[in-house]
Structure formats: C-alpha cells, structure tokens
C-alpha cells in the first residue's frame, strides 16, 4: 500500500510539474510573439517576481523603463502584465483605447462573502452593463447632492469649521494632524452617505476609519505587503478559501467593516421616509432598489449598496486625507509658499468670511499649490490595475486580450520631459508668466478615461475648502527643537509622508 501511495504522489508531482512547465511555455510563446512589448527574461514558475522591488515598485519600473522603453512586459508568476509609462503611452491606453482597457483583472476573493458583499460596486467591478449602471448612478447622485439647499459644499464648509476648532484645541502645541484630517474627511463621506456627522471621539466612527486603511490595503491585491501577498495567493488558488478557519483569520477586519456598514444602513432605513426626497446617497440608492424589483437586468441590490458605500469610505476618505497631510507638511517645509497662499486668502476672502468654491476662480496661486501638492505627493503612483478586454495596440506594441495593465502614473507626474522641476515641490508648474493658473495635460492624479476617479469633483472641493479654511485661521510651522521633516514619501497602500508633528498657531 505504501509503495502504491508513493507511486501516486510521484505521478501527481510529475503531472503538476508538467502542467506548470506548459503554462510557462505558453507565456513564453506569447512573449516571443511579434510586436509583444519587450521585457526581462522570466524564470519558470516565478516569472519576473524577483526582479520587482515590491517595497517600492516605482524604482524597479523606472529601471526597466530605462532599459526596455515606455511599454514593457512582465510575467508575475502566471499573470502576464504590461507596464505603461509616460504621458503618451498612458493617455493612449486609458483615453484613446478606453473601451479596450476599462476592465479589471478577475479577483475570485472579491466574491467571497468574508471579503466583501458579493457585488463589487464601482471601483473594482468588471467592466460591463452593471458597472456602467452603478457608475452612472454614483456620478449623478454626487452631482445632485452638490446642488440645492443642503449641498455637499455646505457639508464640507461645516466640517471645516469643526476641524479648525479641533486644531485650535491644541493651542499651538505640537501634534500630528493625520487623525483629525482623516476624521474630517470621513465625516464628509458620512454626510453624503447617511446625512449625518460623527463626533471625532465616537468609538464606532474611529473604528470604521481604522478599518478603511486595512481594507484599502487588502483591495490592493497586486501591490506589496505580506497581507497583499497572502491575498494574491488566495486569488490565484481560490480553493484555499475552503480551508477551515482560514477565512475568519484572513478576512476578520473585512467582516467587522461590513458589519458596521450594515448597522449604519439598518439604522438609516428606520428613519427613511419614501414619500420625501432622498436625504443622501443611501436614500437615493434604496429608491433605485425598490424601482428595480422584478427587473432581472438591474444591478441595484442591497449587496451593491453596501459595496458602493464601502468603496466611498475606503477610497474617498483615505486618499483625500492623505493629500491634506501632504499639503500641511509642504506648508511647514516651504513657509514662503504658505505666506503667499495666506496673502491670497486675505485679499480674496478676508480673515472672517467662510471660504466658498466660488472663490477658487480668483485664487490662482492657491489652486496651483493644491495641484502641485497632488503632483509632488503622487499618493497613488500605480493607480488600480486595468485589464485588456480585447487585443490592443499601444505605441506599436500588441497587448493581447486578458493582459493586466499597470499605468505608472508616477512616470507621468514626474516626467522630466514635461515638468520643469519634476522631483521638487514647485507651484510654478501650474502658473503662466502672468501668474494665472494653467492646467497641465500631464496632471493625472485622478487617473483618466472611463475608470477615472468618480469622486474627483468631491475631492477637489474638499481639498480647496479644508486647505483654505486651515490656512485662513492658522500659521503652521515645524515644532521648536524638532528636526525638519522629510518630504520623501513612504510607499505602502498609498504614498504617505513619514510621521511628523506641526504647530498650528492662530493668526
């Protein structure tokens, strides 16, 4: 019996080895095909995994770009991938060929209830009719709540006043602004989704925001970290999800997050009046769910409601607050820029008037500074992976259907052929000789094309109103006796500054 079992194991091992060899040969054949993007030689089974620094892929991609050009290929284990660099290649893929590149790579873990609701919302959903319906709803709802009596702008300006009060509580003493900025931005999302705000010390709110960071990391299955590596394996071999206890261990934070979202939605349902206009995004979505009953083609469901709201919290809160953390860091590192922004605020708005979006058109320097913060900070350098839904040509290279695309947005935002000082903070990048604001084509902080960030208008509003309100009321500086903070970001889920403190002195 033992001899028989040994023969079976040997046979299985040989079968697996032959299968893996055939897979590798299939990918090698593709890479040798005419007009396929060039790239480094792949190792059997591993592909190019050892040639990419997953602690900071930007460095590896820069080196490979110097050797192979703006469009080069990689083999990530058994996943064929192409990396696009520079404005021309990225714009060609995302804008000109947007119909061919709008898909997302399949991720089986997303369909597991331990990870998230079965539906995938907008950001990570596969491209198709359901995605178009959900995105159309999200964009129109954001637009609708930007108008009217209780508008998004009023929510943001009200929250900005609360944020300034929280900063004032520190009475000029050193503190880290990260948590307060995260809570302020999170409250804007809470106002949009549930028509309410939370106190900054509310335990449920604090826990919800903590979980957003964890889930954002889990969503980035193609990026570094031990957690992402584990999820990548589960995504490639989803049968492992059947291992007893594994789901509870790997997805514990996910289940807690969706449980909190479910609590908030349930509480919201109890106060909803269907005869009245929708108070917020949840009301508007529930109305769509009711209209969709009996329509098998509709993608509106309770599961998708949770996904859409969850994505807003995860993507909207962390990215905007991280940008504001960068903005305040750069103000204490460049006090002359801070003084010019404050001078423009004093001239256009004054010391007591609440900032409004209508002021922005008369504040070219402040607008340029905010754009330069986003360009220099470069918080999402690789964006979210795309996938080709059909054979596509970019700069003469043929990218086959089913290839994962990494759009190296950092190569666009720091392109030496476009920007005067690509690796320095320089607001002049967005100003002409007369001091007027100039929008640059290579400014792709929100990506581009069909998958461009749908929350861009809200993010722009938050950045302007929070930033101007803070600089209207405070002058920021490096605490006495502390070293000058670094402006080199740390690559993790997003690119964020190293932890720092500042002093906020009332003006």
Mean pLDDT of 316-330: 95
Give the residue-averaged pLDDT of 470-476: 98
pLDDT band at residue 119 using 50, 70 and 90 as cut-offs: low
DSSP 132-175: HHHHHHHHHHHHHTTSSSS-HHHHHHHHHHHHHHHHHTTTT--B
Mean pLDDT value of segment 214-240: 57
Answer whether 399's CB lies under 8 Å from 388's CB.
yes
DSSP 401: T
pLDDT band at residue 241 under the 50/70/90 scheme: low
The DSSP bridge pattern shows strands 495-497 and 474-477 to be unpaired
Q: Cα separations (Å) of 3 from 7, 10, 15, 449, 452? A: 6, 11, 18, 60, 59
How many angstroms separate the CA atoms of 378 and 414, rounded? 9
Distance between CA atoms of residues 505 and 180, nearest Å: 16
Position 16 scores a pLDDT of: 44
Q: Does residue 17 have a pLDDT over 50?
A: no
Q: Which residue(s) pair with 393 in the sheet?
A: 398
Q: How far, in Å, CA of 183 to CA of 443, rounded?
A: 27
Judge whether 117 and 303 are in contact, CB under 8 Å.
yes
Whether residue 359 contacts residue 381, with contact meaning beta carbons closer than 8 Å, is answered with no
Over range 397-406, report the average pLDDT.
95
Residues 466/160, Cβ–Cβ less than 8 Å = yes
Residue 104, helix vs strand vs coil: coil
Please, are residues 71 and 406 in contact by the beta-carbon 8 Å criterion? no
Is 324 a residue whose pLDDT tops 70? Answer: yes
pLDDT at 12: 47
Among residues 464, 146, 154, which one has the least CA distance to residue 323? 464
> Which residues 6+ apart lie within 8 Å of 297 measured at CB?
129
CB-facing half-sphere around the CA of 441: CA atoms within 13 A:
9
Q: Please determine, for residue 429, whether its predicted confidence score (pLDDT) is greater than 50.
A: yes
Q: Alpha-carbon distance 290 to 300, whole Å?
A: 9
User: Given pLDDT bands bounded at 50, 70 and 90, which one contains residue 238?
Assistant: low
Q: Is 90 exceeded by the pLDDT of residue 166?
A: yes
* Residue 199 pLDDT: 96
Distance CA 142, CA 454 (A): 9
Residue 10 is predicted with a pLDDT of 47
Q: How far is CA 462 from CA 157, 164, 346, 372, 443, in A?
A: 9, 14, 20, 16, 18
Higher pLDDT, 217 or 281: 281
Specify burial of residue 52 (Cβ count, 10 A radius: 0-12, 13-18, 19+). Answer: buried
pLDDT for position 76: 85
Mean pLDDT of 25-31: 51
Q: What is the pLDDT of residue 224?
A: 42
Rounded to an integer, the average pLDDT of 382-389 is: 93
Model pLDDT for residues 122-137, shown as the tens digit of each residue: 888 889 999 999 999 9
How far is Cα of residue 213 from the mean position of the Cα atoms in its chain? 11
Comparing CA positions, the residue from 259, 356, 351, 320 lying closest to residue 456 is 320
For the stretch 87-111, pLDDT in tens is 999 999 999 999 999 999 887 666 6
399: which strand partners?
392
* pLDDT surpassing 50 at residue 282: yes
Please give the average per-residue pLDDT across 299-310, as a whole number: 88
Residue 254: pLDDT band with limits 50, 70, 90: confident
What's the chain's length in residues? 507
pLDDT band at 50 (very low <50, low <70, confident <90, very high): confident
Residue 25 has pLDDT above 80, yes or no: no
Residue-level pLDDT at 370: 98
pLDDT at 150 over 80: no
Please determine, for residue 471, whether its predicted confidence score (pLDDT) is greater than 80: yes
Query: pLDDT band at residue 408, thresholds of 50, 70 and 90?
Result: very high
Q: Return the number of other C-beta atoms located less than 10 Å from residue 165's C-beta.
A: 11
Contact indicator for 183, 209 with CB cutoff of 8 Å: yes
Amino acid 90: pLDDT: 97
Measure CA 241 to chain center. Answer: 26
Q: How many C-beta atoms surround the C-beta of residue 488 within 10 A?
A: 9
The greatest distance separating any two alpha carbons of the chain, rounded to the nearest whole angstrom, comes to: 90
Average pLDDT over residues 62-85: 93
Q: pLDDT band for position 165 (50/70/90)?
A: very high
Can you tell me the distance from the alpha carbon of 468 to that of 118, in angstroms, rounded to the nearest whole number?
41
Measuring CA to CA, which residue among 361, 353, 342, 334 is closest to residue 484?
334
Phi, psi (deg, nearest 5) at residue 446: -105, 20
How far apart (Å, rounded) are the C-alpha atoms in residues 464 and 154? 13
Alpha helices in 169-301 (DSSP H): 178-194, 203-219, 226-236, 246-250, 252-271, 281-291
Res. 1: pLDDT tops 80: no
144 versus 236: the higher-pLDDT residue is: 144
What's the burial of 435, exposed, middle or buried (CB within 10 Å: 0-12/13-18/19+)?
exposed
Smallest Cα–Cα separation from 93: which of 412, 491, 374?
412
Confidence of residue 8 (pLDDT cuts 50, 70, 90): very low
């Amino acid at each position: 019996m033992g001899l028989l079992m040994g023969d079976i194991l040997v046979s299985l091992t040989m079968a697996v080895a032959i299968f893996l060899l055939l897979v590798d040969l299939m990918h090698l054949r593709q890479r040798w095909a005419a007009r396929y993007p060039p790239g480094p030689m792949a190792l059997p089974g591993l592909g190019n995994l050892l040639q990419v620094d997953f602690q900071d892929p930007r460095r590896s991609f820069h080196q490979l770009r110097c050797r192979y050009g703006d469009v080069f290929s990689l083999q990530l284990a058994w996943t064929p991938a192409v990396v696009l660099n520079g404005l021309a290649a990225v714009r060609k893929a995302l804008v000109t060929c947007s119909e061919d590149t709008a898909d997302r790579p399949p991720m089986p873990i997303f369909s597991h209830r331990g990870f998230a609701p079965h539906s995938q919302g907008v950001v990570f959903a596969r491209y198709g009719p359901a995605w178009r319906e959900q995105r159309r709803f999200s964009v129109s709802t954001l637009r609708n709540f930007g108008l009217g009596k209780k508008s998004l702008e009023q929510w943001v300006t009200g929250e900005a006043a609360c944020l300034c009060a929280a900063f004032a509580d520190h009475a000029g003493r050193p503190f880290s602004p990260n948590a307060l900025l995260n809570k302020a931005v999170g409250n804007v999302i809470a106002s949009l989704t549930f028509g309410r705000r939370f106190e900054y010390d509310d335990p449920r709110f604090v826990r919800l925001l903590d979980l957003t960071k964890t889930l954002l990391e889990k969503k980035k299955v193609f990026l570094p970290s031990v957690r992402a590596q584990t999820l990548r394996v589960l995504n490639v071999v989803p049968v492992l999800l059947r291992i007893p206890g594994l789901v509870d261990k790997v997805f514990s934070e996910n289940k807690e997050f969706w449980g909190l979202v479910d609590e908030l939605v349930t509480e919201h349902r109890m106060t909803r009046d269907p005869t009245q206009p929708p108070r917020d995004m949840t009301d508007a979505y529930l109305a769509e769910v009711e209209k969709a009953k009996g329509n098998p083609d509709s993608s509106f469901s309770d599961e998708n409601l949770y996904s859409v709201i969850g994505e807003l919290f995860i993507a909207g809160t962390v990215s905007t607050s991280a940008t504001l953390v960068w903005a305040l860091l750069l103000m204490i590192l460049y006090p002359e820029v801070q003084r010019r922004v404050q001078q423009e605020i004093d001239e256009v708005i004054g010391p007591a008037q609440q900032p409004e979006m209508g002021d922005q058109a008369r504040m070219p320097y402040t607008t340029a500074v905010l754009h330069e913060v986003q360009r220099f900070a470069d918080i999402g350098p690789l964006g979210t992976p795309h996938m080709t839904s059909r054979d596509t040509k970019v700069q003469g290279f043929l990218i086959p259907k089913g290839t994962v695309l990494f759009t190296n947005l950092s190569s666009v935002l720091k392109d030496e052929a476009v920007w005067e000082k690509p690796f320095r903070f320089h607001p002049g990048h967005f100003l002409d000789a007369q001091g007027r604001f100039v929008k640059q084509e290579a400014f792709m902080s929100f990506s581009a094309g069909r998958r461009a960030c749908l929350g861009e208008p809200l993010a722009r509003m938050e950045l302007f109103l929070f930033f101007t309100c803070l600089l209207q009321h405070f002058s920021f500086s490096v605490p006495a006796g502390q070293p000058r903070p670094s402006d080199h970001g740390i690559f993790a889920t997003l690119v964020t500054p190293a932890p720092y403190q500042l002093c906020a002195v009332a003006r």
